[in-house]
Structure 1
Amino acid sequence: MPATRLMPTEEGQDLIDLTREICAKELAPRVDDAERAAADGESFPTEVFRTLGSAGLLSLPHPEEHGGYAQPYEVYLQVVEEIASAWMSVAVGVSVHSLTAFPVTTYGTDEQRAAMLPAMLSGDTLGAYCLSEPLAGSDIASMTTRAVRDGDHYVLRGRKAWISHAGHADWYTTFARTSDDGGKGLSCLVVPADAEGLSFGTPERKMGLHCDTVREVVYDDVRVPVERRIGDEGQGMAIALSALDAGRLGIAAAATGLAQGALDLAVGYAGEREQFGRPVAQFQGLQFLLADMEAAVTSARATYLHAARLKDAGRTFGKEAAVAKLVATDTAMRVTTDAVQVLGGAGYTQDFAAERYMREAKVTQIFEGTNQIQRLVIGRHLTR
């Protein structure tokens, strides 16, 4: 990874350096074996998240008074990028965890923040973000999971799909329909993992990100106290969309880190692999390919940092977040594919991480809103 970045504070650089050290010592040596084991059966890196949590890396952008580090978003995102360059499943998990706490941090009352955030940001717990459904992905307004008011509780019934951390999370930030007023009829509830009636489907067998356990979450008359509703009733759509803007930046940073890891592997291999009596890195055709990969990664990083700085300045950043997600994830797909090409036949084997990087890159173009949805978002910003 690049040794020098523009940092807003010395503390920010120290956090980046700490993350690199943890990645080198704790994550990189374990990732290949863990991902292979998880592909053969469910495996979740709980202890890795606890290591990151004990270092304070699960709570960076959240308020200091409730256990966060109150770091600028650009610092948090560069931490996510560093983690992704070593272990993409874990980086996605860090982004998801931050996303689950975002509604409480941003829309919760003072009492809710005091009651919920310390546990959420302790480093000992993980959250899950429950928005998508089997028939309601990007079309949030068609959501059917319902929360019916019953005295001082809501009763939740329905199911969510493609939920990271399902079955391992300590709470589930859940969006449900509280009225039939289309997108204005959604509300946000924080459901504890031990709630009666909460259950989970069989883990999905995925192309990649095997250590990112994904399942359906099933709500069978789950009772949730009214005080665990975040924001007003009917405010769920606004909360979800706001959270997704921030979450898209997390995925953009993770995709950039994944691409950087693939580029580092390709450069290292090209410098060692010899053909016709010299390293293949000395051939101009390969140098041009590596140069294009570097330019793409650098450009992706610039897009997410630009959006993060707008967010840190309190300015609107929805369009820029969509641009960052689109550019960074398309870059990840292209750069990881090119990395396989640089390694040649070796890149097609599991002896090197290039094939894993390529498999992991594909889903970044799909989750947190497909890249077709990102184009819709960008286009609407430009023409409205």
Structure 2
Amino acid sequence: MELRTDSALTAEQRAIRDVVHEFALEELRPAAQEADAEESFPEDAWDRLAELDITGLTVPEEYGGFDADSGTYAVVNEAVAYGHLAVATALSVHCLATSCIAEFGSDEVKDEWLPEMVDGRPVGAFCLSEPGAGSNPAQMTTTAEKTEDGYRLSGEKQWITNGQRAGVYIVFAKTAPEDRGSITQFLVPADYDGVEVGKKEHKLGLRASDTTGMTFDGVEIPEKYRLTPEGEGLSAAFRILTGGRLGIASQALGVAQAALDEAVDYAGNREQFGKPIGEIQTIRHKIADMATQVQASRLLCREAARMADNGEDPRTIASMAKYFASEAAMDVTNEAVQIHGGYGYMSEFDVERFYRDAKITTIYEGTSEIQKTIIARDLLD
């Protein structure tokens, strides 16, 4: 793809985008099909992201990180997803973990964890959802019982990205089991007694990303690893997830752009009835619709990033971006498969994987229905 001029970006953001985009095309995309088929995360790609300083994207400079603004965070997520969404998802969850430590951890905790996480190891994971508490985290049953030296953590979490790979987990638990207002955020090292990784889930898409359940069986947590005051964990999570939703919107945009580019290339080269199918009006209209959805998604992502970087409240626009871009990714990848015809249904063609992968962007970090609820609440309430 020839990168489009993007006037909303600074020269530095464009330069970073171009470097990561080249990496995505040259190193992520060629290995994506095999990683997807084997359901195995490409660890060498992760190490290369660390070499590019991307695994420290949201970490302050004083700890060796990139300290990226929202615009840079968005374009990096878009570029990585253009190559392989599973890698982009692992990166965004790692960034959620580093963001929690950077924002809520003590100086001691930040010194202990952030410099190594900047280098990509340990990998971070974010444990909020539970088997009975997905879109409504206030229903969680994981508890953190106060002890003489800290807390005793018990409960189960579900759909944890980086579950097998992680060396540190950000875990949300209630300090008072019946009090939905007692949710608190904790840091839990993976090697603590009682931390158990569940089975790896087999998924429709995003197959190279390890997704597991987690069990915390009476894990003893020192006081210093309580990241937020008791009862302030959920509000903290929502603040971090606003940035996360911009990341997912940008990932959806990256997948949609990749599918559009594949469709344009195929339509220009595939011949039927004695001419390229790109000369058939039906195909041309499909591509026009796809391109419009991609560009509209991009503009929403850029506006959400601009608001965040200017100190404005980006929550509603971030939800609009996440909702629109993820649904657009589903539409665009579906049409890319249709333009490829029978070939689009074959795993040898990237659009087949794009189509399967795109669906998750409408679900994780807040479903499309939750995003619409947030948007409507802002307008009506």
> TM-score, length-normalised on structure 2?
0.96
Are 1:31 and 2:28 an aligned pair? no
Tell me which amino acid in the other structure corresponds to 1:25. Answer: E
Are 1:110 and 2:107 an aligned pair? yes
Tell me which amino acid in the other structure corresponds to 1:234. Answer: G
Count of matched residue pairs: 380
CA distance in 2, matches of 1:170, 1:147: 20
Tell me which amino acid in the other structure corresponds to 2:280. Answer: F
Kindly provide the CA deviation profile for residues 328-384 of structure 1, in whole angstroms up to 9, marking residues without a partner as x: 100000000000111111111112111211111111111111111111111111122
* 57-66 or 186-195, which deviates more: 57-66
Please name the residue that 1:294 is paired with. 291
Please name the residue that 2:56 is paired with. 59
CA distance in 1, matches of 2:265, 2:308: 36
Kindly provide the CA deviation profile for residues 54-82 of structure 1, in whole angstroms up to 9, marking residues without a partner as x: 11012223311112112221112111101
Please name the residue that 1:344 is paired with. 341
Unmatched 5+ stretches in structure 2: none
Tell me which amino acid in the other structure corresponds to 1:96. Answer: V
Please name the residue that 2:18 is paired with. 17
CA distance in 2, matches of 1:48, 1:81: 16
124, 147, 166: which one aligns with 1:169: 166
Tell me which amino acid in the other structure corresponds to 1:280. Answer: I
Please name the residue that 2:129 is paired with. 132
Instruction: Give 1:184 shift.
Output: 1.6
Are 1:6 and 2:3 an aligned pair? no
CA distance in 2, matches of 1:291, 1:202: 43
CA distance in 1, matches of 2:108, 2:308: 25
* 179-188 or 209-218, which deviates more: 179-188
Kindly provide the CA deviation profile for residues 180-212 of structure 1, in whole angstroms up to 9, marking residues without a partner as x: 463320110011111111111111111010111
Instruction: Give 1:8 shift.
Output: 4.7
Instruction: Give 1:94 shift.
Output: 1.0
Q: Which runs of 4+ in 1 moved over 6 A?
A: none
- Contact 1:256 1:329 (8 Å CA) reproduced: yes
Are 1:178 and 2:179 an aligned pair? no
Please name the residue that 1:303 is paired with. 300
- Contact 1:179 1:234 (8 Å CA) reproduced: no
- Contact 2:143 2:177 (8 Å CA) reproduced: no
CA distance in 1, matches of 2:178, 2:234: 11
* 100-109 or 308-317, which deviates more: 100-109
CA distance in 1, matches of 2:30, 2:102: 34
What SS does the aligned partner of 2:30 have? coil
* 258-267 or 99-108, which deviates more: 99-108
Are 1:190 and 2:191 an aligned pair? no
Instruction: Give 1:7 shift.
Output: 5.8
Tell me which amino acid in the other structure corresponds to 2:33. Answer: D
CA distance in 2, matches of 1:324, 1:234: 29
CA distance in 2, matches of 1:180, 1:208: 35
Tell me which amino acid in the other structure corresponds to 2:315. Answer: G
367, 371, 374: which one aligns with 1:374: 371
> TM-score, length-normalised on structure 1?
0.96
Are 1:233 and 2:234 an aligned pair? no
Kindly provide the CA deviation profile for residues 305-332 of structure 1, in whole angstroms up to 9, marking residues without a partner as x: 1111111112111111111110010000
107, 114, 119: which one aligns with 2:116: 119
Are 1:312 and 2:309 an aligned pair? yes
* 294-303 or 7-16, which deviates more: 7-16
Tell me which amino acid in the other structure corresponds to 2:197. Answer: F
Please name the residue that 1:152 is paired with. 149
CA distance in 2, matches of 1:85, 1:211: 15
CA distance in 2, matches of 1:312, 1:183: 32
